[in-house]
Amino acid sequence: MRSGILLLDKPQGLSSNGALQRVRRAYGAKGAGHIGTLDPMATGMLPICLDEATKVIAEIESGAKAYQFTLTLGARTDTGDADGLTVETLPVPALDTATLEAALARFRGPQSQVPPMYSALKRDGRPLYELARQGIEVERAARQLEIRSLELRAHSAASVELACECTKGTYIRVLGEDIARALGTCGHLTRLRRAWVEPFRGMSMVDLDAALAGAAAGSFLMPPDAALSHLAEAQLAEAQGVTFRRGQPATATDPVTPTGGRRVRVYGPDRVFLGLAEVLPDGRLQPRRLLLPDGQ
């Protein structure tokens, strides 16, 4: 078993699940999961967790994400991006920087957003995109989210280059359509790239060909705890580590103060990552996620 996290630079034209399965097979992993779905048209950071590293997905999947995208004005597609069919066209008004900035200001901060029909969200066990392909539209509940930053990078007569940092669950295709509507026209995405996913901001990605070529040697894999630096850590002596691995509360070598909740990451001798624990009121560590060392 080879566990770890791969920061894949997903290529255009491949689904997130397609990329996941190719990586999983190449690395010989039994289990795998990715953090945040990217549309086939989109490129950029797709963190893939293999085997034991899948146990940390729940701790990091709610993090913020950052995107760079091109919004082409004057035409709306059924999917909201360049992979769809044009369903509406409108003239594009003359736009200057001041007009664009005024429109973008309306989309910064907390807001609600209705997910698109072309999405992997499910209704009665069926992905919405399957219904959309049959021409069926169903009501979708609005989601609460936050656009933490939205920057104008460049613009021309019929396109706008933007960069965005947002919370989990934001559909950039919908954001693009809403911005176009606020500008008095319609639009769709013709480029979408995810720059980073928390907590991997600023970290290097690896392209798919390089990842597949290095799989036999286990190249490019980060350890599972590389995603947990935001949590306080606790150290256990050997005997307490044995107790912890049996699923029983254990006492840390030194008292530990949790950060952002009661979860902490736990290490045994030689910095072996044992898993995640909750700090009990008496200071002991209650195991919540136990990780097996590679090879077990």
In the numeric block, which tokens belong to residue 209? Answer: 């060909």
User: Is the CB of residue 5 less than 8 Å from the CB of residue 226?
Assistant: yes
Backbone angles phi, psi at 241, to 5 degrees: -65, -40
Q: Is the dihedral of CA 96, 102, 107, 108 positive or negative?
A: positive
- 254 catalytic? Reply is no
Report the relative pairing of strands 273-279 and 126-127 from DSSP bridges.
Answer: unpaired
- Alpha-carbon distance 158 to 117, whole Å? 26
Give the CA count within 13 Å in the CB-facing half-sphere of 101: 5
- Alpha-carbon distance 161 to 47, whole Å? 25
User: Pick the catalytic residue: 9, 39, 51, 78?
Assistant: 39
Q: Which residues are catalytic?
A: 39
